[in-house]
């Protein structure tokens, strides 16, 4: 076996650990939490299926590669739920260190190529990366709609928070997709509000004779 092949297999063996990283969002049937390897596969499929929602300048093959690579760093850094309060810069530093280690397992040319795709996704400045970020944000919304609220209930999330933390990113890459999904999300929150019983009216104490 060549050194190159040995390094590639070592990397492939190491990223098996992504299957053990649990995310905040349950899977669609609400039976358990999704893991990050499943998430990466699922959003790659989202990009493939929803390619028509991307702008003409977007290369879906590059988007899929970004989505398959982007969460590998969670092997070392863990998943950080979008609705959880955290030190964003400290977590970003952990992810960069993880990228150094994990992509560094590969042969040099491949390590450089994969790390560049990961950096491009994180920066979210190119058309490909913006659409990749859109897809990464849309999938958890649709899972939570399917599973009855999932992480929205766990983190006491409001529709305004979804608009602020998710909507802007999705709108940048796929406006029509956002309008469609947002209407469904708004419907879910409206139904939740309607199901909350109104507080009982206070009864005045009877007057003393």
pLDDT digits (tens, 9 = 90+) for 89-135: 999 999 999 999 999 999 999 999 999 999 999 999 999 999 999 99
pLDDT digits (tens, 9 = 90+) for 34-72: 999 999 999 999 999 999 999 999 999 999 999 999 999
| Res. 87: pLDDT tops 90 | no
DSSP notation for the chain: --HHHHHHHHHHHHGGGGGG-EEEEEPTTSSSEEEHHHHHHHHHHHHHHTGGGS-TT--HHHHHHHHHHTTTTHHHH----TTS---HHHHHHHHHHHHHHHHTTS-HHHHHHHHHHHHHHHHT-SHHHHHHHHHHHHHHHHHHHHHTSHHHHHTT--HHHHIIIIIHHHHHH-HHHHHHHHHHHHHHHHHHHHHSPPPPPPPPPPPP-
The pTM is what? 0.89
CATH topology of domain 3-194: Hypothetical protein af1432 (1.10.3210)
Domain ranges of the chain: 3-194
């Amino acid at each position: 076996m060549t050194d190159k092949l040995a390094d590639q297999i070592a990397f492939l063996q190491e990223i098996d650990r992504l299957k053990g990283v649990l995310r905040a969002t349950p899977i669609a049937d609400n039976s358990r939490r999704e893991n990050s390897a499943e998430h990466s596969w699922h959003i790659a499929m989202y990009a493939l299926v929803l390619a028509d929602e991307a702008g003409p300048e977007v290369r879906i093959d590059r988007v899929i590669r970004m989505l398959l690579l982007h969460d590998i760093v969670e092997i070392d850094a863990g998943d950080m739920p979008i609705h959880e309060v955290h030190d964003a810069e400290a977590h970003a530093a952990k992810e960069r260190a993880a990228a150094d280690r994990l992509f560094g397992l590969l042969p040099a040319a491949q390590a450089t190529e994969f790390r560049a795709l990961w950096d491009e996704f994180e920066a979210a400045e190119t058309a490909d990366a913006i659409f990749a970020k859109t897809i990464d944000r849309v999938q958890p919304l649709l899972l939570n709609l399917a599973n009855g609220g999932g992480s929205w209930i766990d983190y006491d999330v409001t529709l305004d928070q979804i608009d602020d933390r998710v909507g802007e990113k999705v709108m940048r890459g796929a406006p029509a997709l956002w309008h469609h999904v947002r209407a469904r999300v708004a419907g879910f929150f409206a139904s939740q509000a309607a199901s909350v019983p109104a507080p009982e009216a206070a009864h005045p104490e009877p007057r003393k004779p």
